[in-house]
Structure 1
């Protein structure tokens, strides 16, 4: 299976898995963002994945292409964090190669990545030196010769998706290893998702609702994993509170992608 195809299937499998507390899945939509929007993004992003797979453009241009292609639907940002993980993995054909690709990013990659924000409503942390939501930052990027790796490093302390670039895709690797060894049939993705949710404070939740909400989510997830609280009840409670672990969803997509590239048979798993 081609890398571009694995990326599309990973996006599709993640959003269809149920229950993933608080997130859009095959049983829950948000008012403005639906399952169909996520599936549409998985379809529409294919040309950008092919561009990355063939090395026809740099990473920043690939990310911008994906965002531009998927901006045609009205569901808002569905996969920006996932793109940040998928494109280096596609271009490098795995984690080791991704690290090389990241190290070789350029100022042009940083500028193209910055331009992609004009088409999204992504929550990013501000820093003393660079606010990626400030148009004047583009000139700062040029003046300082900042690369895309530099840009991501600014957000890494407060963003678990960005941290994957500097920690060797550690959480994505955890998800992949879980899937490759899991004997639990069609719930494998949900269980992999929970394996992160119970141990990692989701930084999308922190940005949206604060650390207390993220820690509450972790504690509830631990109860689900111990069998003392139902996953479906947790899901409903998250939806009522407006809690959605979006960063862990993005990392789960990257983990699914790695597992697919390494031979995980999602169809046999689904039939189990």
Structure 2
């Protein structure tokens, strides 16, 4: 197998986004074999292309995490497919700024109140589901005042959200699932099959919080159990995929973490083309 390396971290991040959405079958999510009625494969691929200037800025000149996330959302909102990669941006931008997981941890620790405010502005541009119990409502101007009054950094915002959101939890646990995902990719070999197997491993190990917000905790737990059955050979993968699609069950948070894991693995020499 010929070894292929990527030119820079921006390209590496774009490749991670592209590889994740094109891998199939990933139960419940958009891929090359099926779309949603309002969001299609080409919307995800368009986001991968449109966000390049933000990734290049993060790599070449750095910048504030919050404003970079906001700019990424603004650039990728130009298509009609809605939010496609908000969670991925939350993970990828610190990784690009920091260079690797250790660097991303330092970036997270260095965030401030302005990062939190910029992040809330980005959040308000999306249609991301939030838990009904959240008292910091992105649609309420008083939330920004509360952030300022409390002196909350973006790291504080993520810690506040972490019990209910596994992407935010990556900021508080040192990108633990991202690291696990990269390790699984290395263990499973190369290419599309490794991504699908890694996605299933993650889905079987932890309830997806996007599913929980949309359908409830029991649906997320049931999806996790079903993924485990697939891995043990007790359930057909394509049948499980069809069940998820028909039920509107999409593990969006696992997809975001998979993108981050692919990014890390690519930086460590993992080969996508074999």
Identify whether the pair has TM-score above 0.5, normalized to the shorter chain.
yes
The alpha-carbon deviation at position 51 of structure 1 amounts to 1.3
The alpha-carbon deviation at position 35 of structure 1 amounts to 0.2
Q: 2:18 aligns with which of 2, 5, 12?
A: 12
Aligned residue for 2:3? none
Match runs of 1:86-101 below 5 Å = 86-101=92-107
Within the alignment, does 1:219 sit opposite 2:225 as a pair?
yes
Aligned residue for 2:30? 24
Q: 1:257 aligns with which of 254, 263, 268?
A: 263
Post-superposition Cα deviations, 1:133-163, rounded to whole Å, max 9, x if no partner, equal 4221111122222111111111101111110
Match runs of 1:160-179 below 5 Å = 160-179=166-185
SS of structure 2 residue aligned to 1:263: coil
Taking the aligned partners of 1:29 and 1:65, their CA distance within structure 2 comes to: 26
Taking the aligned partners of 2:175 and 2:105, their CA distance within structure 1 comes to: 9
Aligned residue for 1:186? 192
The alpha-carbon deviation at position 223 of structure 1 amounts to 1.0
SS of structure 1 residue aligned to 2:25: coil
Match runs of 1:124-139 below 5 Å = 124-125=130-131, 130-139=136-145
Within the alignment, does 1:83 sit opposite 2:96 as a pair?
no
- Over aligned residue pairs, what C-alpha RMSD do you find? 1.3
Unaligned runs of 5+ in 2: 1-5
Q: Is the 8 A contact 1:126 1:132 kept in 2?
A: no
Taking the aligned partners of 1:132 and 1:85, their CA distance within structure 2 comes to: 20
The alpha-carbon deviation at position 117 of structure 1 amounts to 2.0
Classify 1:230/1:115 alpha carbon distance in 2 versus 1 (closer, same or farther; 3 Å): same
Normalising by structure 2, we get a TM-score of: 0.94
Post-superposition Cα deviations, 1:88-135, rounded to whole Å, max 9, x if no partner, equal 111111111111100100111111111112321011235565333422
Normalising by structure 1, we get a TM-score of: 0.95
Taking the aligned partners of 1:257 and 1:100, their CA distance within structure 2 comes to: 18
Taking the aligned partners of 1:152 and 1:126, their CA distance within structure 2 comes to: 17
SS of structure 2 residue aligned to 1:102: helix
Taking the aligned partners of 2:90 and 2:234, their CA distance within structure 1 comes to: 35
The alpha-carbon deviation at position 52 of structure 1 amounts to 1.1
Q: Is the 8 A contact 1:61 1:112 kept in 2?
A: yes
Taking the aligned partners of 1:169 and 1:95, their CA distance within structure 2 comes to: 7
The alpha-carbon deviation at position 212 of structure 1 amounts to 1.0
Match runs of 1:97-136 below 5 Å = 97-125=103-131, 130-136=136-142
Aligned residue for 2:41? 35
Within the alignment, does 1:238 sit opposite 2:256 as a pair?
no
Q: How many residues align?
A: 268
Q: Is the 8 A contact 1:11 1:253 kept in 2?
A: yes
